[in-house]
Amino acid sequence: MYNGLSDVLKILQEEHYGLAQELHQYDMALQSTVDACVPGDLDWKHSVQELRVRAIGFAAQLKHHLRIEDEQLLPELQACLSEEDTVPSLRFSSLLMEQYFWSGLSYLNLFIDQTEQLIEFRSTKDLKRMLYYLREALIHLSEYFKVEQEYVLLQAVRVLEDDQAEG
């Protein structure tokens, strides 16, 4: 009965897993860059530049993921649930997710913008501040993925399981 929900859920679960894994790897790369901080070391500064390139690609993937979620999953899920089922958990969860998403993306974009200039001429203090922006982005995006998994994707799975049990 809920084929549209099932299809979009499968896509988002796969994307969620891949993006969450990438977020974890990104966090480890950030930590190793911070740990390797040596003032004046060009290799360290180039590591920051590599994080920037990675951030640009990650931001594009995140936007694509959110678009599918907003345009397909949430409408499908709301169509499957009665009004009392969607209040407040689905609505609150989607608002909370968006807040974490846009906060994280803002920090990510701030990091991308701040590292656009030549890294070689930036001070270690400036670069550490930029890495702080990236750290904040990853924290907010990690929370986004937690809310998405625990509330939205899990609720969609339950709807499909209930439908199969009734069917």
Secondary structure element (H or E) that encloses residue 102, with its range: helix 89-114
Instruction: Identify the pLDDT of residue 84.
Output: 65
- Highest averaged pLDDT of the listed ranges 32-41, 105-114, 126-135, 149-158: 105-114
For range 127-140, the mean pLDDT: 94
pLDDT tens per residue across span 72-86: 988 888 888 776 665
Mapped onto helix, strand or coil, the DSSP state of residue 23 is helix
Query: From start to end of 26-124, where are the E strands?
Result: none
Banded model confidence at residue 40, pLDDT cuts 50, 70, 90: low
Domains, the chain, ranges and CATH? 3-166 (1.20.120)
Q: What six digits make up the tokens of 37?
A: 């901080």
Asked whether the beta carbons of 16 and 157 are under 8 A apart, the reply is no
Instruction: Identify the pLDDT of residue 65.
Output: 95
pTM, whole model, 2 decimals?
A: 0.88
Q: What six digits make up the tokens of 23?
A: 């977020």
Query: Residue for token digits 């400036």?
Result: 126
Residue 1 has pLDDT above 60, yes or no: no
Q: What's the mean per-residue pLDDT of the chain?
A: 87
